Amino acid sequence: MRNVERYPVDGPNALWQMYRTISRFKAVRNFVFIQISRYCPSLPVKNWIYRRVLGMKVGRHTAFALMVMVDVFFPERISVGDNSIIGYNSTLLTHEYLIKEYRLGDIRIGSNVMIGANVTILPGVTIGDGAVVAAGSVVHKDVAPNTFVGGNPMRVIERKSE
């Protein structure tokens, strides 16, 4: 199962109460910089924004393709190792606002990881070094190092020998 922290809420659903968990200023600032990064063709500029403005841990030579959407509210909970690729239009979520609770969880992506296009990574997931995630997958649980996974629901396709 995913490694998430659970916070119960009273009253209307948790999304209606989101500004109790994050300031409006931070949400707007993050949104603006994430939108700039989504369209920016320069990998060094994107990584600078992710590291210096949004507080993410991004390794050397890591590449975020166009249109990648990182979590607007808690991007600082995302870490990516060296020489990894996050594919076009992928989404990395570190929060979930539900009816009776909200959940937060770190996303940890190792080094030399290939994330295909249109992948969604849910909160509390760790993807090990050398893993490959097929395009269009929903990563709802941890991925072991050197493993090829894909689908929705995600399943192991192949374990690579080191």
CATH number, domain of 14, equals: 2.160.10.10
Least confident of 23-27, 50-54, 95-99, 156-160: 156-160
Helices (H) and strands (E) in the chain, counts: 2, 17
What are the tens digits of pLDDT across the range 74-128? 999 999 999 999 999 999 999 999 999 999 999 999 999 999 999 999 999 999 9
Q: Provide the domain limits for residue 31.
A: 5-159
What total of structural domains would you count in the chain? 1
Residue 92 contacts residue 122 (beta carbons within 8 Å): no
Nearest CA-CA partner of 83 in 69, 106, 63, 105: 63
Phi, psi of 156 (to 5 degrees): -75, 130
